[in-house]
Structure 1
Amino acid sequence: MLTTPVRQLGETERGAVERILDLDPFAAPQVAERVSAHGLAWWRSDGRIFGYGPRRQLESLCWLGGHLTPVQASAAAVAAFAERLAIEERTCVSIVGRAEAVLGLWDRLAYHWGPARDVRTEQPLLVADRPPAVPADPGVRLVRLDEVDALFPAAVAMYTEEVGISPVADDAGRGYRRRIAELVRARRAYARIVDGTVVFKAELAVVTRHTAQIQGVWVDPRWRGRGLATPAMAAVVRDALRRVAPTVSLYVNDYNAPARQVYRRCGFRSVGSFATVLF
């Protein structure tokens, strides 16, 4: 039996939760964004937060919603979270976060939740806090709301290529399209559009007071190899730092050498390693 049980956290412990999230602002910005917007009420935030540690000295967190994300999770916390989660049917589509904690959870949950569709064990977590030294592409700009129809097929292509399944499979893409439109409306979607076709895109998928996390970076296959990606990313980073957050962050598959080269040129530095388990 565990001597320090895991418990679901409520609004009365919001201050302690925010303190832990602030200790590692780049590892779980999506959790921080949810807590900031909705608090710890699971019916508003579409997820639950579990805590590990004495009631007056919370040590670690684990977010369970569409994704499972451990935060500041020690080996003891990982073991405790896994024991608690193993009694539940899996509802998340991925486990994502700092590599050591994610892989520790998966070692313990694979028997109960497996098999996984893919396990990505090494994804460098990168951060930039100053404008890139390389020139920015002046053609990369915020997407207008009347351009969602142009952006949507590019977003679907990116998601399918990156995740390995189509985001339109379950509901003909209605939910995914709403998400894309929300990002456009919030001035968080960037693209270079040529003759009505998106040839580059990226989004600020998560924004907190510490960072804007870039996701969905994609270049049309017909435009790859032309040197488009570096100045395009430079434009996104410059605008995000100027307008949105003091840093920008992202994580990338270790085998994606061309993307990692682009991010190096744009001034990103490593702040650790992520891992992702995809179901």
Structure 2
Amino acid sequence: MSRLSRVAPWLPFPKETTHEPVRVLVHRDTGALRALIARDRVANVFVDSLLTQNSSAVPAFPGALMLGFFEDDGVSLAAACWVGSNVVPIESTAEHARAFGRWMVEHWEPHASIFGPAEPTLAIMEVLQSAGITAQDIRANQPLLAISGPPLVAPNPALTVSESGQFSEILVAAAAMFEEEVGYSPFLGGEANYRRRVAWLISNGFSFSHGDEVGEVIFKADLGAVTSYATQVQGVWVNPERRGQGLSAGYMAAVVELARKHAPVTSLYVNDYNTKARACYERVGFEQVGTFATILF
């Protein structure tokens, strides 16, 4: 299988209609969706941030939609699921998630990933697998961590909000982080899209970095999701030449301090096997508040 096929698999499933209690949300569902997200604004920060930007249950992104699982004869919104380039279950049980998975099979489009709370994320993938849809990688145990106060170690003052003039250096570091994490270049699906994403993070003050005397990035991290209540840190990367020097804790403490200017709670999720990163986050003061999973296609 080529790397491109992993990003955009071609699976011609029929677009049939089921009698599941699942439908696409519309504008009038926005209030119910807000209430659902508010049950756990740390675990749901990704979708919460999108709703903050758009103020509607109808996504502004072309090709994206929000599914809802309704109970009480279609009256009560019990769970939801963002379906776009990524798929993200919201307040879903395994039962809800399997219904979302069946909807996805019937309306199949390629997705880059599924991520979110482990139980519903893995339940969606079980349904997809039963329909012959395979994944490149399944990361079933990713501790969701959060800190709601100042860090427990001194922040490195050299870490600052990235500036537009650093775009080229930040792009190189971001692409290296992505390829190291998922195994293929972020440019594979279109370089222009990834460049826009990095530029958007910088222009909105959501990219933090520190470079050496010639501008090469030593450390970077992003706020991939931001609300008034919580942020979610993504894209953490240390230049390979600077690893093993005990720099990570100070940099991550600085990330927390910078993130706290946006929201009181800072969160992230990490692969369970990344013991060095987990030890660093614990030292900084992060505590586990849940478990995520990620499916990569």
Same fold per superposition (TM over 0.5): yes
* More deviation, 88-97/229-238: 88-97
Deviation at 1:44, TM superposition (A): 4.3
Choose the corresponding residue for 2:157, options 120, 138, 142: 138
Choose the corresponding residue for 1:25, options 34, 41, 44: 41
Deviation at 1:144, TM superposition (A): 0.8
Residue 15 (structure 1) aligns with: 31
Give per-residue Cα distances to partners, 1:107-134, cap 9 Å, x unaligned: 1111336221000010000000011121
Give per-residue Cα distances to partners, 1:46-76, cap 9 Å, x unaligned: 5211111233211100110111111111232
Q: Are 1:237 and 2:276 matched, yes or no?
A: no
Partner Cα distance (2:223, 2:132) in 1 = 31
Partner Cα distance (1:46, 1:31) in 2 = 16
Whether the 8 Å contact between 1:2 and 1:80 is mirrored in structure 2 is no
Whether the 8 Å contact between 1:230 and 1:265 is mirrored in structure 2 is yes
Whether the 8 Å contact between 1:67 and 1:93 is mirrored in structure 2 is yes
Give per-residue Cα distances to partners, 1:5-43, cap 9 Å, x unaligned: 101110101000010011121223221111222222245
Give per-residue Cα distances to partners, 1:110-167, cap 9 Å, x unaligned: 1336221000010000000011121111111111111111111000000000111101
Deviation at 1:175, TM superposition (A): 1.4
Residue 119 (structure 2) aligns with: 100
Whether the 8 Å contact between 2:128 and 2:134 is mirrored in structure 1 is no
| Paired amino acid for 1:146 | G
Deviation at 1:217, TM superposition (A): 0.2
| Paired amino acid for 1:251 | Y
Residue 129 (structure 2) aligns with: 110
Q: How many residues align?
A: 277
C-alpha change, 1:217 and 1:113, in structure 2 (3 Å) is farther
Residue 13 (structure 2) aligns with: none
Whether the 8 Å contact between 2:227 and 2:263 is mirrored in structure 1 is yes
| Paired amino acid for 1:105 | I
| Paired amino acid for 1:128 | I
Q: Are 1:70 and 2:86 matched, yes or no?
A: no
Partner Cα distance (1:46, 1:236) in 2 = 33
- Unaligned runs of 5+ residues in structure 2 are 1-16
**TM-score using structure 1 length:** 0.95
Partner Cα distance (2:242, 2:236) in 1 = 14
Residue 156 (structure 1) aligns with: 175
Whether the 8 Å contact between 1:142 and 1:190 is mirrored in structure 2 is yes
Choose the corresponding residue for 2:64, options 47, 50, 59: 47
Residue 211 (structure 2) aligns with: 193
Partner Cα distance (2:218, 2:226) in 1 = 24
Residue 203 (structure 1) aligns with: 222
Partner Cα distance (1:2, 1:78) in 2 = 15
Identity of aligned residues (%): 36
Residue 7 (structure 2) aligns with: none
**TM-score using structure 2 length:** 0.89
CA RMSD of the aligned region, Å? 1.6
Choose the corresponding residue for 2:267, options 215, 239, 249: 249
Partner Cα distance (2:132, 2:35) in 1 = 30
Partner Cα distance (2:62, 2:266) in 1 = 24
Residue 176 (structure 1) aligns with: 194
* More deviation, 55-64/210-219: 55-64
C-alpha change, 1:113 and 1:63, in structure 2 (3 Å) is farther
C-alpha change, 1:68 and 1:140, in structure 2 (3 Å) is same
Deviation at 1:91, TM superposition (A): 2.1
Whether the 8 Å contact between 2:58 and 2:66 is mirrored in structure 1 is no
